[in-house]
Amino acid sequence: MGFRRKIVAGNWKMNNTLSEALSLVDGILTNLDASTTTEVILCPAAPLLSALDSHTKNLPKIKLGAQNCSEHVSGAYTGEVSAAMVKSVGCDYVIIGHSERRMCFNENNKQLAEKIKRALENNLSPIFCIGEKKEEREKNIHFNLVKTQITEVLQNFSAKELDKLILAYEPVWAIGTGLTATTQQAQEMHAFIRKVLEETFGKLFADKTPILYGGSCNAQNAKDLFACDDVDGGLIGGASLKASDFCSIINSF
Ligand code: PEP
């Protein structure tokens, strides 16, 4: 990966009350290597963002991301959170299209394209998640499937508009299952994704866009995964809830 940014993002999902979140952040600060050059992004649930922003404001190494934003600008969408709101409470990033959002909330590619648009309008970096289900890999359609996820969602943007984009390859069969992709599976898919980016947006764009791996990445396997040429870091679920594990992952480059 060499010249690209190194990024580790923690997706806390629907875990942590405010007091638990504050102690987790304190634990991360205690364990974090002061000389790390890795971008560290914490993605807590939306109600915690504002308090975490105050808690981490003077810590340039820690950035905040939301787990989702609405495809709508504002209005009568009870329960939804807009990209502008997310930005207003200190986020620089937002996860878009996590497989749990696609599966539990039926988010589709058209909607995800709108969400990315809202994120970019609000100067947020989208962390756009793609990845195949187990049966799609078994049918050997995983490369085509991932290509379609990328092209259908991103085709109407220019490379310039997507300057802040981060991709996260998260094979659905690896998320929360303990079944990590092998380094070979991760590298071949990341290289493929970079090729799709090159065909669609050009080599410069493909070379500089970070592609994170997600799916049962932990303190034991992160080093090998991050050593792959096209893996630029990780989107971490379960292992981001324990400060020492999360920091070991950050220190795995
Ligand atoms: C995720 O939810 O993005 C994720 C990668 O989860 P886990 O690390 O728990 O597999």
Q: In this predicted structure, what is the pLDDT of residue 1?
A: 47
CATH 3.20.20.70 for domain 7-250: yes
Furthest-apart CA atoms within the chain: distance in Å = 49
Average model confidence (pLDDT) across the chain: 96
Of the candidates 238, 248, 247, the residue with the CA atom closest to the CA atom of residue 14? 238
Encoded tokens for 226: 């991050």
Atom 6 of ligand 1 has which residue's CA nearest to it? 237
- Per residue in 19-51, pLDDT (tens digit) is 999 999 999 999 999 899 999 999 999 999 999
* Other residues' Cβ atoms within 10 Å of the Cβ of residue 176: 13
Number of the ligand 1 atom closest to the C-alpha atom of 238:
9
Number of the ligand 1 atom closest to the C-alpha atom of 239:
8
Decide if 170 is catalytic: yes
The Cα–Cα gap between 100 and 111 comes to 15
Q: Are 127 and 65 in contact (CB under 8 A)?
A: yes
The yes-or-no verdict on residue 61 having pLDDT over 90 is no
Phi, psi of 39 (to 5 degrees): -75, 125
- Per residue in 71-128, pLDDT (tens digit) is 999 999 999 999 999 999 999 999 999 999 999 999 999 999 999 999 999 999 999 9
Encoded tokens for 170: 């998260």
The reply to whether ligand 1 has any atom less than 6 angstroms from the CB of 235 is: yes
Whether the model clears a pTM of 0.85, i.e. scores above it, the answer is yes
> Bridge partners of 166?
127
**pLDDT grade for 2, boundaries at 50, 70 and 90:** low
The reply to whether ligand 1 has any atom less than 6 angstroms from the CB of 238 is: yes
Decide if 98 is catalytic: yes
Substitution site in 235, 242, 248 for ligand 1 pocket (most atoms within 8 Å of beta carbon): 235
Domain range list for the chain: 7-250
- Per residue in 137-183, pLDDT (tens digit) is 999 999 999 999 999 999 999 999 999 999 999 999 999 999 999 99
The reply to whether ligand 1 has any atom less than 6 angstroms from the CB of 221 is: no
**pLDDT grade for 3, boundaries at 50, 70 and 90:** confident
Number of the ligand 1 atom closest to the C-alpha atom of 129:
3
The reply to whether ligand 1 has any atom less than 6 angstroms from the CB of 215 is: yes
Q: In this predicted structure, what is the pLDDT of residue 243?
A: 98
